[in-house]
Amino acid sequence: MDSDFLNVFTQPSTVDQFLDETVIAKGEKRKLIKPTSSNNSKLKQLKLFLIDWINRTLQEEHIVVKSLEEDLFDGLVLHHLLEKLGSLKLDVDKIALTEKKQRQKLSVIMEAVAKCLQLEESQLKWSVESILTKDLLSTLHLLVAIAKHFNPSLALPPNVQVETITIENTSRGLKTSNAVENITDNKESTEAQSNDAFDELFSRAPDKLEAVKKVFLQFVNQHVGKLGLSVKDIESQLHNVNLALDLLADGGLLNFSVNSEDIVKGDMKTTMRILYCLYSKYKTKEA
């Protein structure tokens, strides 16, 4: 994040104008993306990525989204998206013209999302009101959560952060606080966590290694069995390594760099890390 980007937030005129244009009711508290975050290239990339993903997913329904802020607040796109991705049948009308109907529709949708994602209310980073009022921060969190759950192999742009401002209308006036919020996962952090887990497994819990290998072997055979293949030893039966790694990388399924020679030499730790990437991407989809 460059200094010019941060300096924009220190200009009183920008913040004051934003506060003047933001309507917060008495006792209400809202967290919003600062307006100057529109210059954030990673945020722009994520918005375009999500728009393209939605349009590809709903191509057969002839739905075209051009703006996340303007095209999702009424629940129509979200309704179609859940039906398409999760085969869910929601007991609401496809089109809701009045604000009351839109609020009712969004309530049903939000309930369905929370149930599918197995999230408690305190874990939700969105609400009916925030989506209805075209809040971009909430909309992004909602779409990313839906994408990660229903399409875990989707290569979302990593490390997307935004500057946020929390505004609370108290009896003494507006109270504000600033923060940095993650929208998508930190790729380096994910890689480090994966590496740490397997380092721990190999160095401190070798007795559990065979159990983990059996889980991965069962997972691999479940999929290659469809091709008439069978794997008995994951250490010695992986062929066409360079091609496989290229395909995995292109599909966004690897979250760390891999030396193909390690696989050829039978490096079990590297092999299991690759299998874990596949397993973690597809186990949710199969559930």
- DSSP secondary structure string, 26-82? TT-EEEEE-GGGGG-HHHHHHHHHHHHHHHHHTGGGT-----HHHHSTTSHHHHHHH
Q: In angstroms, rounded to a whole number, what is the distance separating the alpha carbons of residues 77 and 172?
A: 40
Domain annotation for the chain: domains and CATH numbers? 3-185 (1.10.418.10), 188-286 (1.10.418.10)
| CB-CB contact of 233 with 220 (8 Å) | no
According to the model, what pLDDT value does residue 12 have?
45
Q: In angstroms, rounded to a whole number, what is the distance separating the alpha carbons of residues 77 and 68?
A: 10
CA 94 → CA 74, 75, 78, 97, distances in Å?
A: 10, 8, 10, 10
* CB-CB neighbours of 32 under 10 Å: 19
Alpha helices in 87-186 (DSSP H): 99-117, 128-132, 136-150
Decide: residue 51, CB within 10 A, 0-12 exposed, 13-18 middle, 19+ buried. Answer: middle
CA 5 → CA 2, 16, 128, 151, 247, distances in Å?
A: 6, 17, 31, 33, 36
Q: Which of 206-215, 235-244, 259-268 has the lowest mean pLDDT?
A: 235-244
Tokens 């160095």 label which residue? 203
State percent of the chain over pLDDT 70.
64
Q: Which of 42-56, 108-122, 148-162, 273-287 has the lowest mean pLDDT?
A: 273-287
Report the DSSP beta bridge partners of residue 162: 181
pTM as predicted:
0.60
According to the model, what pLDDT value does residue 261 have?
65
Beta strands in 161-252 (DSSP E): 161-170, 173-182
Higher pLDDT, 244 or 270: 270
Among the ranges 136-140, 156-160, 197-201, 254-258, which has the highest mean pLDDT value? 136-140
Residue 95 reports pLDDT greater than 70: yes
Residue type, 117: L
